[in-house]
C-alpha cells in the first residue's frame, strides 16, 4: 500500500481501478444522461421520401420556365396532399397539386412553389415565379441514409440523441450500467436526522451529502446505515455493500484508537492501494479494491463533512463518471483573481472553498471564511474549490489561481446570448 501520495497520484490509481461498467438495456425515454454502450446504425432513411418543405403547390418546374410576375402561368389543381397523406396522384404537364409541409411530393413533380407566391381560384392556380428544380423539396435520406452510423458508442445521451433514436424507431438502447454505491457512516456519536442529539451526538449527515453527490452524477446510492465503532459492527454493515460497484464509507480511517475501517476492509478481502493523500482537507483518504471476481472498489473518506465532500469531489466523482462510461470526468475550471491573501504552512495541496464573482471580464475568488474541515458552512457557500498548490505557501491578493467550478450555474451568463 502506498502512503502519503500526491492527489495526482491518488487520482491516477483510482481511475486505473474504475473501468466502465458493462451494458444494460434501457428504454429510450429513460436514457437521458446515460452513455451508449452500442453504436447505432440506421435501418431507415430520414426523411423516408422526398417531401415538401412548405405549404404550397407541387409543380413541374418546366411548366413554369417562362413564368414571371408580368407573365404568370396558370396550372390545373388536380388534388391535395396533406402531411402524412399518400397520394395516388401523378402530375402531368400543366398540372399542380396542393401540398402541405412534410407531405410526400407526388411523382411527376420536381418543385414546390410556396403558397405566398400563388393565387388560387377554384381548381386553378396562377403562379408568377419560375422555381428551380428541387425548390422547397427535402430529399429522401438527406438527414440519414440506411446504414449510416448515426451515434457512436460512448456518446452521452441527451435530448438530440433521444429524438434521433425515436426517429429511428428504437424503443430500447444499450447503455453502460449506472454505478451502485453503498454508503456507510461510522461512529458511536452518529444518529439519523430524526435521532436524539443529546450527549454530544450528531447527525450522520455525510451519508446524505454523499448520496446526493452520487445522484448528481447519475449513480445509484444504497444506504448501509450507521455502524458503531466496533470492528464487528463495521464488518456487518460493510458486508451488505459487497455486491455494490463502489463502497463509500466515511470516518474511522484516521489514526484514532477506534479507526477500524481500514482493518475491516482488509479482513473482508479488500487490498488497500493507498492511505493518506497530501491534501487538505482530506489527508486520511483510503482506497482499495476487492480482488474477488467483480468485487467493488472501496473509498474510506475522512469523517469531517467538508473532508468527505471534497474527497468525494476529487476522487469518487471522476471514478463514478468513468464507470458510467462518461468521457469527460472532471469539473470545469476557470482562472480567478484572489480577493485576499492566502497562506499556508503545509506542503499539501489545499482545496480552498471560495465564493466567485464576476468583475468585468475577470472572475474574483474570495475565501468562504473559516476553512476548518468541520465547518460545513464553508462548503455551503462555496461556488468553487481553489487549487492552492502544494509547493506554494503564499498567494497574494490579486494573484490568479485555478478554481474548480462546483456551481456550474456560475458559468451561466446573466443575460441572453443574443440581443
Ligand atoms: P473520525 O474520522 O471518526 O475521527 O471522524 C471525524 C469527524 O467527523 C468527527 O468529528 C465525527 O463526528 C465526524 N463525522 C464522522 N462521520 C460523520 C458523518 N457520517 N456525518 C457527519 N459527521 C461525521
Ligand atoms: Mg469516529
Q: What is the DSSP string of 221-279?
A: EEEEEEE-SSHHHHHHHHHTTTTSSEEEEES--SSSTT--HHHHHHHTTEEEEEEEESE
Residue 396, all three cell numbers: 497574494
Residue 39, all three cell numbers: 453504436
Q: Which ligand is nearest to the CA of 188?
A: 2
**Domain 333-411 homologous superfamily, CATH:** MoeA, C-terminal, domain IV (2.40.340.10)
Q: What is the pLDDT of residue 217?
A: 97
Nearest to 315 by CA among 100, 7, 93: 7
Cβ atoms of 347 and 389 closer than 8 Å: no
Q: What is the DSSP string of 76-114?
A: EEEEEE-TT--------TTEEEEE-TTPBPPTT--EEEE
Domain with CATH 2.40.340.10 in the chain: 333-411
% pLDDT > 70, the chain = 100
Nearest to 347 by CA among 403, 394, 393: 393
Residue 408, all three cell numbers: 456550474
Domain with CATH 3.90.105.10 in the chain: 24-43+152-176
Q: What is the pLDDT of residue 254?
A: 86
Domain with CATH 2.170.190.11 in the chain: 51-138
pLDDT digits (tens, 9 = 90+) for 157-175: 999 999 999 999 999 999 9
H/E stretch holding 44: none
Q: What is the DSSP string of 340-371?
A: S-EE-SSSSEEEEEEEEEEETTEEEEEE-S--
Q: What is the pLDDT of residue 87?
A: 67
Q: What is the pLDDT of residue 135?
A: 98
Q: What is the pLDDT of residue 374?
A: 85
> Could you give the 3-state DSSP secondary structure of residue 85?
coil
Ligand 1 mutation pick, 200, 304, 312, max ligand atoms within 8 A of CB: 304
Distance (angstroms) between ligand 1 centre and the Cα of 251 equals: 5
Distance (angstroms) between ligand 2 centre and the Cα of 274 equals: 20
Cβ atoms of 379 and 346 closer than 8 Å: no
Q: What is the pLDDT of residue 137?
A: 98
Number of the ligand 1 atom closest to the C-alpha atom of 205: 20
Displacement of CA 390 from its chain's centroid (Å): 31
Nearest to 97 by CA among 178, 84, 110: 110
If you take atom 14 of ligand 1, which residue's CA is the nearest one? 303
Residue 151, all three cell numbers: 451515434
Q: Which ligand is nearest to the CA of 308?
A: 1
Cβ atoms of 242 and 222 closer than 8 Å: no
Distance between CA atoms of residues 406 and 379, nearest Å: 10
Residue/partner pairs of 275-278 with CB below 8 Å, 24 or more apart: 275/1, 275/2, 275/3, 275/300, 276/3, 276/4, 276/5, 277/4, 277/5, 277/6, 277/7, 277/10, 277/311, 278/4, 278/5, 278/6, 278/7, 278/347, 278/348, 278/349, 278/390
In the predicted model, residues of the chain with pLDDT beneath 70 are 87
Q: What is the DSSP string of 13-37?
A: HHHHT-PPP-EEEEEGGG-TT-BBS
Distance between CA atoms of residues 13 and 20, nearest Å: 15
Q: How many CB atoms lie within 10 A of CB 318?
A: 20
Distance (angstroms) between ligand 1 centre and the Cα of 267 equals: 22
List pocket residues of ligand 1, CB cut-off 6 Å: 185, 187, 189-190, 202, 204-207, 250-252, 254, 256, 302-305
Distance between CA atoms of residues 96 and 94, nearest Å: 7
Q: Which residue's C-alpha cell is 401540398?
A: 99
Distance (angstroms) between ligand 1 centre and the Cα of 304 equals: 5
Distance (angstroms) between ligand 1 centre and the Cα of 226 equals: 11
Q: What is the pLDDT of residue 348?
A: 98
The CA-to-CA distance between both ends of the chain, in Å, stands at 58
What top-level class would CATH report for the domain 2-22+178-323? alpha beta
For residue 38, what is the DSSP state? S
Q: Which ligand is nearest to the CA of 206?
A: 1
Phi-psi region of 126 (alpha: psi -120 to 50; beta: other; left: phi over 0): beta
pLDDT digits (tens, 9 = 90+) for 192-216: 999 999 999 999 999 999 999 999 9
- Compute the Cα dihedral for 181, 182, 187, 191 and give only its sign: positive
**Domain 51-138 homologous superfamily, CATH:** Molybdopterin biosynthesis moea protein, domain 3. (2.170.190.11)
CATH topology assigned to domain 24-43+152-176:
Molybdopterin biosynthesis moea protein, domain 2 (3.90.105)
CA atoms within 13 A on the CB side of 100: 9
Using alpha carbons only, give the angle 35, 41, 45 rounded to the nearest 5 degrees: 130
Domain with CATH 3.40.980.10 in the chain: 2-22+178-323
Amino acid at each position: 500500500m502506498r502512503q502519503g501520495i500526491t492527489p495526482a497520484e491518488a487520482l491516477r490509481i483510482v481511475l486505473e481501478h474504475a473501468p466502465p461498467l458493462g451494458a444494460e438495456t434501457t428504454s429510450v425515454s429513460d436514457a437521458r444522461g446515460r452513455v451508449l454502450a452500442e453504436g447505432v446504425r440506421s435501418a431507415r432513411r430520414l426523411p423516408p421520401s422526398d417531401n415538401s418543405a412548405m405549404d404550397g403547390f407541387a409543380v413541374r418546374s418546366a411548366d413554369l420556365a417562362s413564368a414571371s410576375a408580368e407573365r404568370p402561368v396558370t396550372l390545373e389543381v388536380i388534388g391535395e396532399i396533406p402531411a402524412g397523406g399518400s397520394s395516388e396522384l401523378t402530375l402531368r404537364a400543366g398540372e399542380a397539386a396542393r401540398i402541405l409541409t412534410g407531405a410526400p411530393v407526388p411523382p411527376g413533380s420536381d418543385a414546390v412553389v410556396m403558397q405566398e407566391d400563388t393565387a388560387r381560384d377554384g381548381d386553378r392556380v396562377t403562379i408568377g415565379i419560375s422555381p428551380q428544380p428541387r425548390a422547397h423539396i427535402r430529399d429522401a435520406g438527406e438527414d440519414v441514409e440506411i446504414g449510416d452510423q448515426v451515434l457512436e458508442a460512448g456518446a452521452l445521451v441527451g435530448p438530440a440523441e433521444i429524438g434521433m433514436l425515436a426517429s429511428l424507431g428504437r424503443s430500447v438502447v444499450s447503455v453502460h450500467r449506472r454505478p451502485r454505491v453503498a454508503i456507510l457512516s461510522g461512529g458511536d456519536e452518529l444518529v439519523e436526522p430524526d435521532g436524539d442529539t443529546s450527549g454530544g451526538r450528531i447527525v450522520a449527515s455525510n451519508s446524505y451529502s454523499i448520496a446526493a453527490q452520487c445522484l448528481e452524477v447519475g449513480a445509484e446510492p444504497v444506504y448501509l446505515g450507521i455502524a458503531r465503532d466496533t470492528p464487528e459492527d463495521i464488518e456487518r454493515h460493510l458486508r451488505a455493500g459487497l455486491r455494490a460497484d463502489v463502497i463509500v464509507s466515511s470516518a474511522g480511517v484516521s489514526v484514532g484508537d477506534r479507526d477500524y475501517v481500514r482493518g475491516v476492509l482488509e479482513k473482508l478481502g479488500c487490498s488497500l492501494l493507498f492511505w493518506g493523500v497530501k491534501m487538505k482537507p482530506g489527508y486520511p483518504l483510503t482506497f482499495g479494491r476487492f480482488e474477488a471476481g467483480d468485487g467493488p472498489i472501496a473509498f474510506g473518506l475522512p469523517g469531517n463533512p467538508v473532508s468527505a465532500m471534497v474527497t468525494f469531489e476529487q476522487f469518487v466523482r471522476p471514478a463514478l463518471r468513468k464507470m458510467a462510461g462518461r468521457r469527460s470526468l472532471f469539473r470545469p475550471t476557470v482562472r480567478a483573481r484572489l480577493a485576499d491573501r492566502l497562506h499556508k504552512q503545509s506542503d499539501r495541496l489545499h482545496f480552498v472553498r471560495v465564493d466567485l464573482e464576476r468583475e468585468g471580464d475577470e472572475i474574483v475568488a474570495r475565501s468562504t471564511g473559516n476553512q476548518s474541515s468541520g465547518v460545513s458552512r464553508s462548503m455551503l457557500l462555496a461556488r468553487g474549490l481553489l487549487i492552492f498548490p502544494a509547493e506554494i505557501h503564499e498567494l497574494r491578493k490579486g494573484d490568479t489561481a485555478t478554481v474548480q467550478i462546483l456551481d456550474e450555474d456560475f458559468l451561466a451568463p446573466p443575460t441572453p446570448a443574443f440581443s
